Amino acid sequence: MNNIQNIYCPNCGDRALRVNSYEAKIMRTSCPHCDYLMVQCSETGKVIEAYAPGLFPSGCSQLSTSSISR
C-alpha cells in the first residue's frame, strides 16, 4: 500500500511527490521539474539513492571530463 503526498521540492521549490511504500519500507521523493530524486528507508531514514541536478555539481559530468583528459 502506497501513501502519496504532495510536497515542495527541496531542490527547485516546485511541486514534487513523496511516495511512502509501507511494504518496501521506503520513502521516495521525486520532482518532475528538475529530476530530483531521493529514496530513503522509512524506518531508519537512511538515504538509499539520491540525485539532484543542482545540489551535486561535482557529479557525473566532472568525473567523465577528467577521465577524457587522461
- The residue ranges that bind Zn ion (CB under 5 A) are 9, 11-12, 31, 33-34, 36
Which residue is it, cell 528538475?
34
Among 65, 26, 22, smallest CA distance to 45 is for 26
Smallest separation (angstroms) from Zn ion to the CB of 69: 31
Residue 60: its H or E element: helix 60-69
40's grid cell? 530513503
User: Which CB atom, from 12 or from 19, has the smaller least distance to Zn ion?
Assistant: 12
User: Which CB atom, from 14 or from 25, has the smaller least distance to Zn ion?
Assistant: 14
User: Which CB atom, from 2 or from 54, has the smaller least distance to Zn ion?
Assistant: 54
DSSP state of 14: S
